[in-house]
Amino acid sequence: MRTWGHPHQPLVVAATEGPSGPARPERREFQVESEDVGDRLDRWLSRQVPEHSRSAFRRFIDEGRITICGNSCRASHRIQLTDRVSFDPPPIPSPIPLPEDHQLQVLHQDDDIIVISKEAGMIVHPAPGAPPEATLVNALLGHSDQLSSVGEAGRPGIVHRLDRETSGVMVIARTDLAHKELARQFHDREIAKEYLALSHGIPTTLSGEIDLPLARSLTDPRKRVVRHEQGARESYTAWKQIRTIGKDSMKGICWFHCFPRTGRTHQIRVHLRAIGHPILCDFHYGRETKLDLSRWVPAAPDAPLQRHALHAWRLHLRHPSSHQSMHFEAPLPEDLVPWWESATAVQDGE
């Protein structure tokens, strides 16, 4: 079995020209090796071309972009040694995001910054190979014609990020000077962030500290893992439990108040899993993709949870121009409110 860093090389590469001249993505063909026989087509393809997810390949199969020996196929197809798999990648989208009319929950706005509460499910900025639409950047461009131009192309105003399914508070730079100053504060760890996470299990202590280095997974480039070796990055999260549902340390669930001192990708999600408390409905690091509050509180109203239960609750910074200390809090979104209200505050909690 090959790791993600060693995909099959294409047997045939065919470049095609668009009507205006620029080359379209190259067609790729792969041949199955004996060690991969019997694997699902969508899973196998996601290993051969790790820049696309398994769900993306299911979509490509539905669109007819994947064929086996020239014939259409299904994602569930079990690959055989004689299969010759062809992949016609989708056109490379324009890297320039356009303004979109999307209602933003604005917590604060002035000439230098915009502070918003990002909704769960919204990507912060266009990703390579994905359409530059329906992202926070598109919504910001529709909200304001004044955003900083510092940083990577196609990401105006973006100083920091939240994962797609994470809701909560973010600060956006409106000027280049504000962007540089906020970036400095993040780099120097002068900006304090607080999160709420709803996780499996109840700790035996009321608070704790997690000091575990993180690195990219060797088998899945989208994931991070705890790894004690050269190249791993120091990562530190303090936490305390503030509310619980149930009393059983194994079967109950707990609201964690997290204070990440570093800002690594997926840090809180990986750290809580590492100490035995994976976040509810975390499809990368948890146990399930959907839960309902009635599992713990039979009399509770319908409260389906279909995204990881992580919320960027508070942000503490200094205004980039006035240097005044500022504190922002994003209210819990509707899907998390019933879970909060059904929980019982613990001793010394908030």
Instruction: Determine contact, residues 114/137, Cβ cutoff 8 Å.
Output: no
Which residue among 42, 163, 302, 348 is the active-site one? 163
Q: Measured between alpha carbons, how far is 178 from 311 in angstroms, rounded to an integer? A: 25
Which residues are within 8 A (CB) of 211 and not within 5 positions of it... i.e. 6 or more apart? 234, 235, 236
Q: How far apart are CA 144 and CA 241, in angstroms?
A: 39
DSSP state of 71: B
Q: How far apart are CA 286 and CA 246, in angstroms?
A: 19
DSSP 8-state symbol, 293: G
Q: How many CB atoms lie within 10 A of CB 313?
A: 21
Residue 10, both tokens: 């294409």
Beta pairing partners, 238: 209, 259
What are 228's two structure tokens?
A: 């004690």
**Does 163 participate in catalysis according to the annotation?**
yes
Give yes or no for a contact between 125 and 135, defined as CB atoms under 8 angstroms apart.
yes
Q: Distance (Å, rounded) from C-alpha 165 to C-alpha 143?
A: 22
The tokens of 323 are what? 């240097």
CA distances from 8 to 13, 85, 88, 182 (A): 13, 11, 16, 42
Q: Are 292 and 71 in contact (CB under 8 A)?
A: no
Evaluate the CA torsion angle 114, 118, 122, 123 in order and state its sign: positive
Could you list the active site residues? 163
